[in-house]
Every structure is written in C-alpha cells, then in structure tokens.
C-alpha cells in the first residue's frame, strides 16, 4: 500500500494588511488587548475583487512549482473552505479550470471550518492509500473577512484571509502516518454563522456573520486539541519527544501555548504565524507549514504534528514524516 508524501507546499496572502492600530479606529478595542488575549498583531484582508479561488490559485501554483510536477499530473483536488466564491460550483472545480487541468480529475470542497485542512488532508490520504489517486492537490483557502461583522469586536479582530496548499504524492516511503478526524455537532451554536442558503438570510443580515462564545470555544479547543494529539501519538506508538514540529491551527497564541505545554514542547518547536496572519480558518495550517518549509525550519525526514479545531465543533490531527 502506498503512502501519501508531501512533495510541495505553497501559500498566498492578500496584499492589504490590517494592523491592530487600524482596528482601534473601527471598534472599541486596543492593540494591547488583542496582543495579550490572542497574540495577533496584524492580518491580511482580500481586496474587494479578490475571491477565495483567487487566493487558492496563487497558493496552489506555488505548491505545484515546489513539487515540480505538471498541473495535469494532478488526479484529485480537495479544497477546504467555508467561504466559497459561490454556492456552486465548488472552489475546487473553479480551481481546476484556472489551473488548466484538463484530465477531468475529481474536484470537491470540504467544509469543516478551521479544521478543514486536516479534514481535506485525511480525505486525500485515504484516496492515495486506497490506490485511487497519485498526485493530490490539497488547498485551504478562506476569505473570512466576508463573513465578519466589522462592528463586533468579539470576532472581527480575530480573523484574516489567506490560502495554503500542498501537493501529496503516492510514495513507498512514509509520509502521512495517520489522520484523526472528529466532530460533535451538539456544540454548533458556540461558534457559527447561523443563517445561510437553506435557512434564508435574516432581514437584519446581522445573522450572516460569525458569532462566537469565545471563552467556551477556547476551553473546548484546548481540551480537544490535547486529546487528539495524544490519539495521534498512541496510534503511531510515538512519544511526544519524537515530534520535531507542531504545526497548529493559528487561532490564538494562548491556545497554541496550552497545546505545546501539554506536549512538553517549547515554543521554538512550534510554528507560530498567528501574530502576522490572524486566524485564517482552513488556510492557517498550510500557511504556517509553507512559511516554516520555505524559511528552512522544517526539513525532509522530520516528524510533524498538524492539528486544528473549528466550528461544528470539528477537530483533527495528522502525523506526518515530511
Ligand atoms: N477588545 C477589547 N475587549 C474585548 C474585545 C476586543 N476586541 N473582545 C472582547 N472583549 C471584552 C469582552 O467584551 C469581555 O468584556 P466584559 O468582561 O466586560 O464582558 C472581556 O473582553 C473578556 O472577554 P472574554 O471572552 O472573557 O476574554 P477571553 O480571555 O476569553 O478572550 C477570545 C477572548 C475571543 C480572544 C478568546 O476567548 C478566544 O480566543 N477564544 C477562542 C476563539 C477561537 O479560537 N475561535 C476560533 C476557533 S477556530
């Protein structure tokens, strides 16, 4: 049975940067509050004309270049997003056309909010392990700025836009060792955009934005991320000291630190981008991964633990030899 190996990473951030000081002029907040409670200093925001597929395309091109393969060698596209360009077609289908992939490979989106990338990786890994795909493009791309209430300080300071991508290839050498995906829909109201296509949009439109009970989400995130990290280690008979890098979802520096503490990892073994990116939902893990691969921190053969937690609730982890 083949393994799924990451052979290329890529990412893209929109040009526009929104500093905490800019937010001070928009809502009743301070740079100090945002830094102390979240670790976030700035975030990127898509231009009005820029869509999730635009961001996904740039990240995907970077990953395909790094992988050194031809776009038409890709035989599956999975895009993790909660902020698709349109109701349908999926971002994955739009992306296939943008990349001029003409081999009619399957392409679909996965929606698991901030755990979306780990979910997409799990699906792609299963395809490769089953022998159903050889080169898979996995993208996490979001324009969360479009579903934020820019008058709600509880949420608008937390999120940013961006995209990250990896190319997975079937290989005899180990790559993804395991993925662990979970959901518990009973918590849906703690973090949600409660209106939408089928329920309809409320007259006030207020409902079509992210709503969150922050401290409850925080507690669940810390607890579930620790659980799923243990699950991944036990499944692979690994000790936490054998993990070279933790590449966590970037929601809040305090959540990242709590997870690292539970793994007895010092922060120099954790890829942290939340200060510059904010929470980019499904894009945050592949964005962080690409940053650390390109700056030379993550090297071939090292063991990575990726993990994410998001609305749903959804959460998951992937244990990988890079
Ligand atoms: N600026 C200033 N004050 C703010 C604020 C802001 N941007 N946002 C909230 N506050 C206020 C609240 O209104 C509250 O005021 P009150 O005590 O007068 O009611 C106070 O700060 C404390 O709020 P609380 O929610 O208890 O703070 P916290 O320490 O839990 O931090 C979060 C808030 C949102 C940063 C934190 O709960 C968090 O990160 N939660 C998880 C979020 C997350 O990860 N979401 C995505 C999951 S993928």
What is 3-173's CATH topology? Peroxisomal Thiolase; Chain A, domain 1 (3.40.47)
Q: Is residue 252 annotated as part of the catalytic site, yes or no?
A: no
**Distance from the alpha carbon of residue 102 to the mean position of ligand 1, in angstroms:** 47
State the pLDDT at residue 200.
Answer: 78
Using the structure block, give the residue that is written with the tokens 């809040």.
Answer: 252
- Mean pLDDT estimate for the chain: 96
Percent of the chain with pLDDT over 70: 98
Q: Which of 215, 308, 311, 316 to mutate to test the pocket of ligand 1 (most atoms within 8 A of CB)?
A: 215
Q: What is the mean pLDDT of residues 288-308?
A: 98
State the pLDDT at residue 204.
Answer: 55
Q: Is residue 277 annotated as part of the catalytic site, yes or no?
A: no
State the pLDDT at residue 203.
Answer: 60
pLDDT tier, 205 (very low <50, low <70, confident <90, very high otherwise): low
Do you know the residue count of the chain?
A: 322
Residue whose CA is at the smallest distance from ligand 1 atom 2: 29
State the pLDDT at residue 287.
Answer: 98
State the pLDDT at residue 202.
Answer: 62
- The CATH class given to the 177-321 domain equals alpha beta
Asked if residue 23 has its Cβ within 6 Å of ligand 1, the reply is: no
- Measured from the Cα of 308, ligand 1's closest atom is 48
What distance in Å separates the CA atoms of residue 152 and residue 190, rounded to the nearest whole number? Answer: 16
Q: What is the mean pLDDT of residues 23-45?
A: 98
Q: What is the mean pLDDT of residues 221-246?
A: 97
The two domains 3-173 and 177-321 share their CATH topology (first three levels equal):
yes
State the pLDDT at residue 253.
Answer: 98
Q: Is residue 177 annotated as part of the catalytic site, yes or no?
A: no
Q: What is the mean pLDDT of residues 80-91?
A: 97
What distance in Å separates the CA atoms of residue 322 and residue 303, rounded to the nearest whole number? Answer: 6
Q: Which helix (H) or strand (E) holds 195?
A: none
Q: What is the mean pLDDT of residues 65-83?
A: 98
> 270 and 246 in contact (C-beta within 8 Å)?
yes
pLDDT tier, 321 (very low <50, low <70, confident <90, very high otherwise): very high
Domain positions in the chain are 3-173, 177-321
State the pLDDT at residue 196.
Answer: 86
Nearest one of 226, 232, 218, 247 to 313, comparing CA atoms: 218
Residue whose CA is at the smallest distance from ligand 1 atom 20: 154
Through-space distance between the first and last CA atoms of the chain, rounded to whole angstroms: 18
Using the structure block, give the residue that is written with the tokens 């190319």.
Answer: 167
pLDDT tier, 302 (very low <50, low <70, confident <90, very high otherwise): very high
pLDDT tier, 97 (very low <50, low <70, confident <90, very high otherwise): very high
Bridge partners, 6 (sequence order)? 168
3-state secondary structure of 29: coil
Q: Which helix (H) or strand (E) holds 138?
A: strand 135-143
pLDDT for 75 beyond 60:
yes
């Amino acid at each position: 049975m083949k393994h799924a190996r990451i052979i290329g990473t890529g990412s893209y951030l929109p040009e526009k940067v929104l500093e905490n000081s800019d937010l001070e002029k928009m809502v009743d907040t301070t740079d100090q509050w945002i830094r102390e409670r979240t670790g976030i200093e700035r975030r990127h925001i898509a231009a009005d004309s820029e869509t999730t597929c635009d961001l996904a395309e740039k990240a995907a091109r970077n990953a395909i270049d790094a992988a050194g393969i031809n776009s038409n060698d890709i035989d599956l596209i999975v895009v993790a997003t909660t902020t698709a360009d349109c109701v349908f077609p999926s971002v994955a289908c739009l992306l296939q056309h943008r990349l001029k992939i003409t081999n009619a490979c399957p392409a679909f989106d996965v929606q698991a909010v901030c755990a979306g990338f780990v979910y997409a990786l799990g699906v792609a890994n299963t395809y490769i392990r089953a022998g159903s795909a050889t080169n898979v493009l996995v993208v996490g791309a979001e324009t969360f700025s479009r579903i934020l209430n820019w008058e709600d300080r509880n949420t608008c300071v937390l999120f940013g836009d961006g995209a990250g991508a990896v190319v997975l290839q079937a290989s005899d050498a180990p790559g993804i060792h395991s993925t662990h995906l979970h959901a518990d829909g009973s918590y849906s109201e703690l973090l949600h955009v409660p209106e939408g296509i089928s329920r309809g949009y409320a007259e006030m439109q207020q409902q079509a934005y992210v709503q969150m009970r922050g401290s409850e989400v925080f507690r669940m995130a810390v607890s579930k991320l620790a659980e799923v990290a243990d699950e991944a280690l036990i499944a692979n008979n690994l000790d936490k000291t054998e993990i070279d890098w933790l590449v966590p979802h970037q929601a809040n520096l305090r959540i990242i630190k709590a997870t690292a503490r539970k793994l007895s990892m010092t922060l120099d073994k954790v890829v942290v981008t939340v200060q510059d990116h904010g929470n980019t939902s499904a894009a945050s893990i592949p964005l962080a991964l690409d940053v650390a691969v390109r700056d030379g921190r993550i090297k071939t053969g090292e063991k990575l633990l990726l993990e994410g937690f998001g609305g749903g609730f959804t959460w998951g982890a992937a244990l990988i030899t890079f």
